[in-house]
Amino acid sequence: MVDVTLSVDDERLIKWIQAAQSNRMNVEDWLIQSANSILTDNQRESADLPPTIGNKNISGLAERAWDRRSKAGDDMAERDLGNRESLQLVSIRGEPVTGPNIGRLENEMLPSGLLRLLPMKHALRLLWSMSSETRRSVPDGEFRSALNQMLLHNGAKLASEDDRFGRGRGERLAAGFSHLDDDARSRTVNWMIGAPGGSMKLSAMEIIGWSSKDGEGHRLTPHGLDLARLPNPIIDRDLAHEGPFSPLERTLILGSIHHRLPMEWKIMRTIIDGMRGGPVGNERLDARMARKFGEGTAFNWTQSILQLRRVAAVTRMSELGLVIRRRDGRKTVSELADDAIQIVDFTEKDPN
């Protein structure tokens, strides 16, 4: 097992991440800038930083907060979740180029066909390591080819693990990697990083604010860099029965959605609020969605669009540990996880 520890408590680190995001910076740069600035007592309290900490100490604290251990790459190469070539982790401790962390997109939503976010975590790690040596954007064709191969390889490895541990539908970690179908995998790549040929349509990685494009290719945003660096239970540690994201990762992902995609967040809140009374079936969720977004409303979505958006939102929230889906006779019902409301309320708090 790779020993990954955080030398600051999770809640404080989350606050730092939120404050860094508000300033369109990655968390380490924000920490160092905060240490260099002359803080008033009120500023110190809001930043939750020790009042006497110096630049040298804060830099070390930032390093320890993201401690990955130098042997992480070697340990990964020996395990059956992939190797350095497939995950491109040779330069795991590098510092890639970063682009701007763009603000809110009022009406944008994630592609409804992209139901899983774990492959995007892998894509972030891939982009990080591919750009860390050159400190330049990764050309589209190069990143597209590497991403396709990574999805194929890691999807197959995770599918084997899913079978070994008897994971059922909704629990399989390989879902979303499209490793069994070349055409489906090409569509997944196009959803994640955009179609080839210079399309102006934003990709899922751009929509959620984790990467951007320039004339040379793809680059991480500061927020994408923060998420790429966070340890992941599947990639970095031998925890075969754990969920796909750590608590810090899922908090950062939810923060991305809340900060950047208010329409996506509104759909999630509509569904979450509909589950406050207990387990509900798909029909009740669809009816609630129709009252908010259906025909005759300002959005005027058709029934088929409503169902697509409900399926996408519930699937992602299940992956993030907010929603639990289970069989009830012949029906599938969804209910809130015990800490779902607490997590959502925390995400909606002003980081300042």
Domain 261-348 annotated CATH 1.10.10.10: yes
Tell me the pTM. 0.79
Residue intervals of the chain classified under CATH 1.10.10.10 are: 261-348
Residue 1 tokens read as 């097992």
Question: Block means of pLDDT (10 residues each) for the chain, length 352 residues?
Answer: 41 71 71 56 46 42 42 41 42 69 88 93 90 88 92 89 84 90 94 85 94 93 88 69 78 90 95 92 93 94 94 94 85 89 83 56
